[in-house]
Structure 1
Amino acid sequence: MRTTIRDIQQMRDRGERIPMVTAYDYTSAQIADRAGIPMILVGDSLGMVVLGHESTVPVTLDEMLHHTRAVVRGARKALVVGDLPFLTYASPEQAVISAGRMLQEAGAQAVKLEGGVHIAPTIARLVHLGIPVMGHIGFTPQAVNQIGLRVQGKRAAEAQQLLADALAVQEAGAFAVVIELVPAELAQAITERLRIPTIGIGAGAGCSGQVQVWHDMLGLYSDFVPRHARRYANLAAIIGEALAQYANDVRAGAFPGPEHSSRMDADELAAALRQFDAGAPSEEPV
């Protein structure tokens, strides 16, 4: 059975830490699902790690729907959360349309959107209509042009605002909230004051769970390596070595071998060549 938002809440209530990863296609979703990851985020981070943009801002809703469909097909057990991209939830009415498409057309079980107090009415509207919502506070990547790429909440006034944002998201009905690039002490304090799970990224170990970007944790993306990412593998090097070996084998005639090819009866081939070389039309198959 697929993981539900109730399952995620029960994990938090039991004190069980919640692992979450991003995935952007069928194959990565399959791998994450088989590894027992209970929640997968189809993040608009695909803008950088898949599409090559400098930020998440250029990502469109149609692109998010495309990738989310693939992830849903690959993940049969994990709860799939689809990001709503930049300016697709500028009003509650627009958010309803965007989130509705994410669930109806892409098959996601929940959506994620960025913001705190100011976005709470939109969250409440979506939840009222039966759409599970994950919040996102702290560093909000879609606002990078305004706030810059930096840790949020280091000063007392900023910290107080983040506490208010977290509470507003919870009271609006979000089932969980991502806390990104926030001092560990503040993230823990927020977690202790909420009833819903907090999912940290660059926010210390005091959150209810953690989320990491697929390409960061597996060493597939080298343009920028966040401080908060731990590389559990260096797949870029492994893949690069495999591709180099493949190219060498092709150049040397070592690939493909007989075991990679199919065979044809010698008489059938000879007959085909005789007819072709003589210019005779081949017989129509019966």
Structure 2
Amino acid sequence: MHHDVPSRATTPEPAPVAARAPAERRRQITLGVRDSFSAGLGIFPLGIALGLLIMQAGLPWWLAPALSLAAFAGSLELLLVGMMATVTPLAAVALTVLVVNFRHVFYAFSFPLHLVRHPVAKAYAVYAMIDEAYAVNASLPEAERSAPRLLAMQIACETYWVGGGLVGVALGAALPAPVKGLEFALCALFTVLTLDAFRSRSELPSVLLAGAGAALALVLTPSLAMFTALLMFVGLLLVRHTLTTRRPAQETTDA
């Protein structure tokens, strides 16, 4: 009696890990660029405003890309244009840099720099840790974060900023008359962000605490209002965090 030997089902062998790594890296880079699109909607127009301000202030056009590459801090660069145009003392410039970028110290506590292992890449991740990059990364689940995705998003954001500045320079050179109101571009941006925070009930206490800190700073130290307001806001947030975490613990103990 003849028995046919059943043939084994051929299943495709999984690709080696080394072969899958480049494809996964490309996928993460694509996701990072895609993550940057929402932030780019705000970064690119502000970059245009920076370029226009530089041209209207009578400063050289190359200052737009130079500032964007040297500092990469939108709010600071917009402030520096006015300070350069009025020849502000270096000590005041240094203090402004400290006050405006002081918030980045707190960003570093929760920004996933540990994912980036290469020293040069890690240095760039610290350098490009802007507000938009922090916000976009914070919205991602922890399992979906990776170094290629993070770096691709940051590089894309800087591309929007530098490109917007160059477009603004070109527009400023082509326009026959200066555009009025550009100096309020940054103020308008933060006003919109504040209004968005008011719409969220969960963020209303934070907005009220920020307003209280700003009001106290204007009364106590009007010449250093921004720096004092930031310190007060951080202190008030720490107090709020302590009270909100202690309350559930007390309720659990009472129960």
Do they fold alike, i.e. is TM over 0.5? no
TM-score by length of 2: 0.25
Query: Normalization by structure 1: what TM-score?
Result: 0.23
More strand by share: 1
